């Protein structure tokens, strides 16, 4: 099986196109040599993949016939990635500021919903008539004229 199809079928990449683009960028290698998308994968190969700023290593146990479910992936590959790489990933995730700073940009949909829940939508329900809201009635506007 071609390496781009293999990486897609074991769900390492979402699409086969993304897998082939990563291979073209030399982020995937078998052993010590970089590969092309057409490289055939064999059982026992150790594939090194650079993704999310860490180096994954997977060993091919079995070649799947086609794309497989996530629960079946451990039957086809063995993860031999160094523990230090996963620790680096955990540290990077903890150090990143996932949320925007206060006052930066528009509120997200979640922010808006949180604000609506906090303030409540009672104002719109209480004042269905704008004249009542502003304290004016049709009689008041006629008497002023």
Tens digits of residue pLDDT in 77-117: 998 988 898 888 888 777 665 555 666 778 788 888 888 88
Q: What is the pLDDT of residue 48?
A: 93
DSSP 8-class letter at 71 = G
DSSP 8-class letter at 140 = H
Say which residue the tokens 């086969």 belong to: 16
Q: What is the pLDDT of residue 101?
A: 63
Specify the pTM: 0.61
Q: Provide the edge-to-edge strand list for the sheet that holds 77-79.
A: 33-34, 28-30, 46-51, 54-60, 77-79
Low-confidence ranges of the chain (pLDDT < 50): none
């Amino acid at each position: 099986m071609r390496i781009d199809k293999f990486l897609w079928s074991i769900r390492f990449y979402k699409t086969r196109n993304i897998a082939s683009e990563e291979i073209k960028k030399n982020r995937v290698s078998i052993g010590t040599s970089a590969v092309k998308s057409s490289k055939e994968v064999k059982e026992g190969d150790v594939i090194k993949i650079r993704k999310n700023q860490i180096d994954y290593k997977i060993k091919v146990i079995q070649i799947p016939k086609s794309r497989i479910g996530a629960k079946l992936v451990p039957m086809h590959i063995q993860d031999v990635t160094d523990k230090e790489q996963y620790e680096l990933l955990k540290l990077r995730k903890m150090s990143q500021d996932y949320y925007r700073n206060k006052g930066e940009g528009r509120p997200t949909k979640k922010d808006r919903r949180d604000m609506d829940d906090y303030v409540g939508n009672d104002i719109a329900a209480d004042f269905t008539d704008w004249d009542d809201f502003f304290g004016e009635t049709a009689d008041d506007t006629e008497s002023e004229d």
